[in-house]
Structure 1
Amino acid sequence: MDAATSDICAVEFTPSRDGDSPVLPDLPDQIPEDDPIGTVTADGAYDTHGCHTAIIERQATAVIPIRKNGRPWKEDGPTAAARNDILRGTRHFSRAFWKRWAGYHVRSRVEAKMRCLKVVLPPFHRTLRRLRFELR
């Protein structure tokens, strides 16, 4: 979601039994290459190699808090370096200070928008199922 306009730029819906972090590496492909991505804000579940790699490949900045039991990654590329910078920042200052400094609060706007979609989509899905059934 574009934080300035509240436009949804990329979306993927997953069932509740599936994790969300495996989907993030495919989301930047929904955004045209000539549209720059400034930051990608997500919760600690997205603190994975695949997610950080996808973000770095689009020249974006990850605003993902490190999991509470997070350890430094082996410095073997830009992905690990960027992620370890976040880890050092949260350890040196605090998680709360890092979240304020990095703009992590923007994530709450996205969550509010997704709540609105979740309210609207279930009836829409029922209608789609009904239409699909009637067309067969």
Structure 2
Amino acid sequence: LSMVNVSDGEVLGDLLRSLRRNVDRVTGDGAYDTRDCYDEIAAKGAVARIPPRENAQYWEKGHPRNSAIILMHQFGLKNWKEKSGYHERSLAETGVYRFKQLTDDQLTSRTFNSQHTEVMVINTMNRLGMPEYQ
């Protein structure tokens, strides 16, 4: 949950730094295709699964984003998504969609602090139904 004037990519670092567990990959849409996001993901020791923008240019030699651009140019976006595992992102999107269908498509609280509390409750409820992976 963030204010309307804050982009997803701007808060990624705060989200990752607050995690106490290891992260092996971070999957996000094109909004996360920024140097700051890649830096935060690398600092966590994770692999970025972010589709480069259509007009993406190569970054410095050896940057992981460059291989995503190369694969996308060679095989197309659809094949890149399959090969990189990006399609797993849809599982999270589906979970949020299902929860919205059960409750409502919007939060009922009007103030930011109350919305934060409401989202914390929603997250707790979502975790109760999640499978444990080994």
* TM-score (normalised: structure 2): 0.71
CA shift digits 1:70-105 (9 cap, x unpaired)? 110123xxxx61111111111111111010111111
Equivalents in 1 of 2:73, 2:95: separation in Å? Answer: 31
Within the alignment, does 1:21 sit opposite 2:3 as a pair? no
Within the alignment, does 1:92 sit opposite 2:74 as a pair? yes
Within the alignment, does 1:41 sit opposite 2:27 as a pair? yes
Query: How far off its partner does 1:20 sit?
Result: 1.1
What one-letter code is carried by the residue in structure 2 that aligns with 1:23? V
Unaligned segments of structure 2, at least 5 residues: 116-134
SS of equivalent to 1:40: strand
Equivalents in 2 of 1:55, 1:120: separation in Å? Answer: 30
Indicate which of 45, 48, 51 corresponds to 1:62: 48
Query: How far off its partner does 1:15 sit?
Result: 2.9
Matches within 5 A, 1:95-114: 95-114=77-96
- Percent identity, aligned pairs only, is 30
CA RMSD of aligned residues (A): 2.5
Query: How far off its partner does 1:40 sit?
Result: 0.4
Query: How far off its partner does 1:108 sit?
Result: 1.2
* TM-score (normalised: structure 1): 0.70
Q: Structure 1 residues 31 and 120, CA, compared in 2 at 3 Å: closer, same or farther?
A: farther
2:125 corresponds to which residue?
A: none
Indicate which of 84, 94, 107 corresponds to 1:122: 107
4+ residue stretches of structure 1 with deviation over 4 A?
A: none
Query: How far off its partner does 1:106 sit?
Result: 1.1
What one-letter code is carried by the residue in structure 2 that aligns with 1:123? T
Indicate which of 65, 81, 88 corresponds to 2:63: 81
Equivalents in 1 of 2:39, 2:82: separation in Å? Answer: 24
